[in-house]
Amino acid sequence: MTERLGSVFIENVQPELDAGRYAIKRVAGETLTVRADIFKEGHDVLVAVARWRQVTPAAQKTDWAEVPLTFKNNDAWEGSIPLANNGRYEYTIEAWPDLFRTWAHELKRKVDAGRDVKSELLEGAALLEGAAARAKGKSAEDHRVLAEAGARLRTPPSPDHLLAALSSELADAASRHPDRTLARRYDKVLEVFVDREKARNAAWYEFFPRSAKRDGKTHGTFKDAQAWLPYVQKLGFDTVYLPPIHPIGRTARKGKNNSLRAEPGDVGSPWAIGAAEGGHKAVHPELGTLADFRAFVDAAKAHGIEVALDLAFQCSPDHPYVKEHPEWFQHRPDGTIKTAENPPKRYEDIVNFDWMGPARDALWKELKSVVLYWVDNGVRTFRVDNPHTKPMQFWHWLIREVQDLHPDVLFLSEAFTRPKVMKALGKVGFTQSYTYFTWRLFKDEIRSYLEEITSPPVSDYFRGNLWPNTPDILPENLQNAGPGAFRLRVALAATLSSVWGMYSGYELCEGRPVPGKEEYLDSEKYQLVAWDWDRPGNISEWIAKLNAVRKAHPALQQYQGLRFFESDNERVLFYGKRSPDGLSTVLVAVSLDPYAPQEALLRVPMEWLGVTAEETYQVHELMADQRSLWQGPDVQVRLTPEQPAAIFAVYRYRRTEHAFDYFE
């Protein structure tokens, strides 16, 4: 952008991600608080605005609008942009000297010092006449007021003239019609992508439709999977995530427990996508038809559940792409196609694309069409498999291309990799991200990690979706563990973040590992599994109660604003959240001990709650449905493996003339 006239400096603009290279994230209905340091030489009075507009989707594109920035202190300014709709917005900052207010300020100082101000009054008249000219055709009233005031200043000065010239009403009228040829505009136009509510607040449940028969022998269908939906709804989940639903390759098909040789009847890994029956735009014949899938999506919607689909951009050697477009794949010097590897692991049943090869444009266009195909068939959420093994440039391009057409589409990044790579995936556009929560077990490491990812600047682009388990990961803390371990980990996941998920079997406390590995024995990735929803020792009711509490209390639906508080027991974590409107406040205490009771003295954050030490307030412990009156900062709690979490909704409590009232 060509530099505007004027000597105003605009620095330290926040939020700004990687010098404006990437968009920050917000949710529809939120506001974007913009901050900047703005200053100019001398003593000019400055005016600053945030300029913003919505640019996608095309049907909702708006003209530039402005909101004022307010001076805070030390040349810092701040203002808020309304983000009403799902889509992409642009914003920048512009500032200029308020010539008339600067003149009025200096005039008063000179008058107070007894100076002759005849010349200054003529300068003021010229300023008002210029403002009047700019007001013409925009505001007849402002034009009249400014012109008359300018004319008065050209007559012999009097105390009344001076008083009128210094009135705030006249300054306001002049400020409404500034000389913006002296303005400076920030040299970048920044972006914010505004997601729908589900990006910030969702509970995911993952299951394999092929196990829907639950006998471990009969391949399930989408019609069978519909029978799971009332169960998932009862547990309180609002997103069902399905692993790949496409035809599965036969070449090098994996057998049970990831064996290299498949026996007759082995179903293989659904991530080995593609066979004679089709590829990424086809449905595995044993699951049913495309019409059956769409019926499943509609049935889920009727239960208040959204379907998330796995997006795995890799192929079986049998995928139609391999024959139709061999130029899309990586080849060895001997001409054979390279299989996927992560030494010492080797995935003989999967081949990778040549992402940056000479056929890149055609390949990328085809993969974009895959996403749009499933969007057209009712999918609005994708869990993306191993995005960290594909170029960042591809994801930045793909996500933008899709969301510019369909801003309601969400992408979850499945990347348990290096921290900076995980964050980079958030920057290039992924809506949510898997996290290291799975391996954070102790008080200090949980606190430091969650503070990092739920606070700016990281939370401006990274939303952590907390999973205590996945089909790929059975962490050591859940291996052969009792229900206490499963309860406390799910309590943490469901309350530390506003988005969380779990893989089916968790509610049954399934924890049998492959010896020495963080993998499930008899993994559902390679075989059908018989699920008994009524297995003794299951924690289904506990999970259902957790999700019900989340839905009832907006504080737990907020991603940012997590605050940790003092507990005198290193095995008890204490934290809280509050909704932006202040009408929902929740405190949470969770035991980190799955085997024994733990007691702790909690130091209640009185100032954060807005209560005094003498004030009585009511708390409702939501998991046990018990109400108490608290007073003062110290509260004793006892947590057990059967009840490892206490979730307190906080209500201030006061005595009126005739009764007691509860209020937030």
pLDDT, tens digit, for every residue of 509-567? Answer: 999 999 999 999 999 999 999 999 999 999 999 999 999 999 999 999 999 999 999 99
User: SS3 of 626, please?
Assistant: strand
Measured CA distances, 21 to 2, 173, 192 (Å): 19, 39, 11
Tell me: pLDDT of 656 over 90.
no
Instruction: Confirm if 460 and 195 have CB atoms less than 8 A apart.
Output: no
Distance between start and end Cα atoms, the chain: 49
| pLDDT > 70 fraction of the chain, expressed in percent and rounded | 97
Catalytic residue among 206, 224, 385, 621: 385
Provide mean pLDDT across the span 88-117.
92
Largest CA distance in the chain: 106
Strand intervals (E) in 549-644 = 563-564, 572-578, 585-591, 598-603, 616-621, 626-631, 634-639
Separation CA 66–CA 327 (nearest Å): 50
What pLDDT, on the 0 to 100 scale, is given for residue 470? 98
Helix ranges (H only) for 182-271 are 222-225, 229-235
For 170, phi then psi, to 5°, come to -70, -40
User: SS3 of 411, please?
Assistant: strand
What pLDDT, on the 0 to 100 scale, is given for residue 6? 57
Binding-site residues for alpha-maltose 1-phosphate: 254, 314, 349, 386, 525-526
What pLDDT, on the 0 to 100 scale, is given for residue 163? 84
What CATH number should be reported for the domain whose range is 9-194?
A: 2.60.40.10
Angle between helices 540-552 and 483-496 (to 10 degrees): 10
Provide mean pLDDT across the span 455-476.
97
Separation CA 428–CA 395 (nearest Å): 7
Separation CA 357–CA 330 (nearest Å): 8
Each residue's pLDDT tens digit, 564-621: 999 999 999 999 999 999 999 999 999 999 999 999 999 999 999 999 989 999 999 9
Hey, which CATH number is domain 201-552, 3.20.20.80, 3.30.450.70, 3.40.50.10860, 3.40.190.10? 3.20.20.80
Instruction: Confirm if 426 and 413 have CB atoms less than 8 A apart.
Output: yes
Q: Which of 232, 206, 647, 641 is nearest to 465 (CA)?
A: 206
Tell me: pLDDT of 658 over 50.
no
What pLDDT, on the 0 to 100 scale, is given for residue 662? 45
Provide mean pLDDT across the span 334-359.
86
| pLDDT > 90 fraction of the chain, expressed in percent and rounded | 88
Q: Which of 366, 367, 361 is nearest to 387 (CA)?
A: 367
Q: Is the peptide bond before 594 cis (omega within 30 degrees of 0)?
A: no
Confidence of residue 53 (pLDDT cuts 50, 70, 90): very high
Q: Which helix (H) or strand (E) holds 12?
A: strand 9-14
Matching CATH topology for 9-194 and 562-652? yes
Confidence of residue 162 (pLDDT cuts 50, 70, 90): confident
Q: Please indicate whether residue 115 or residue 653 has the higher confidence score (pLDDT).
A: 115
Catalytic residue among 94, 120, 224, 414: 414
Q: Which residue has the tokens 């006892």?
A: 638
Sequence-separated (6 or more) residues with CB below 8 Å from residue 366? 321, 325, 328
Q: Please indicate whether residue 360 or residue 331 has the higher confidence score (pLDDT).
A: 360
Pairing of strands 190-195, 46-56: unpaired
DSSP label at 28? T
DSSP label at 301? H
Rounded-to-5 percentages of helix, strand, coil across the chain: 35, 25, 40
Separation CA 98–CA 231 (nearest Å): 64
Sequence-separated (6 or more) residues with CB below 8 Å from residue 335? none
What pLDDT, on the 0 to 100 scale, is given for residue 156? 84
Tell me: pLDDT of 308 over 60.
yes
Strand order in the sheet with 306-311: 432-433, 410-414, 381-385, 306-311, 239-242, 202-206, 499-503
Each residue's pLDDT tens digit, 163-186: 888 899 999 999 999 999 899 999
In whole numbers, what is the pLDDT of the chain averaged over residues?
94
Q: Which of 31, 113, 39 is nearest to 73 (CA)?
A: 39
Provide mean pLDDT across the span 372-388.
98
The CATH superfamily label for domain 562-652 reads Golgi alpha-mannosidase II (2.60.40.1180)
Provide mean pLDDT across the span 424-449.
98
Domain boundaries along the sequence of the chain: 9-194, 201-552, 562-652
414 catalytic residue (yes or no): yes
385 catalytic residue (yes or no): yes
Beta bridge mates, 195: 27
Separation CA 289–CA 299 (nearest Å): 15
Q: Which residue has the tokens 């330290």?
A: 12
Confidence of residue 4 (pLDDT cuts 50, 70, 90): very low
What pLDDT, on the 0 to 100 scale, is given for residue 339? 83
Beta bridge mates, 660: 655
Q: Which residue has the tokens 């949470």?
A: 588
In Å, how far from its chain's centre is CA 594? 30
User: SS3 of 401, please?
Assistant: helix
What pLDDT, on the 0 to 100 scale, is given for residue 419? 96
Tell me: pLDDT of 657 over 80.
no
Instruction: Confirm if 87 and 77 have CB atoms less than 8 A apart.
Output: no
For 34, phi then psi, to 5°, come to -110, 135
Binding-site residues: 254, 314, 349, 386, 525-526
What pLDDT, on the 0 to 100 scale, is given for residue 340? 78
Measured CA distances, 334 to 321, 324, 340, 397, 625 (Å): 20, 20, 17, 33, 68
Confidence of residue 249 (pLDDT cuts 50, 70, 90): very high
pTM for the whole thing? 0.94
What pLDDT, on the 0 to 100 scale, is given for residue 413? 98
Beta bridge mates, 308: 241, 381
Tell me: pLDDT of 32 over 50.
yes
CA triplet 370, 240, 557: central angle to 5 degrees? Answer: 110
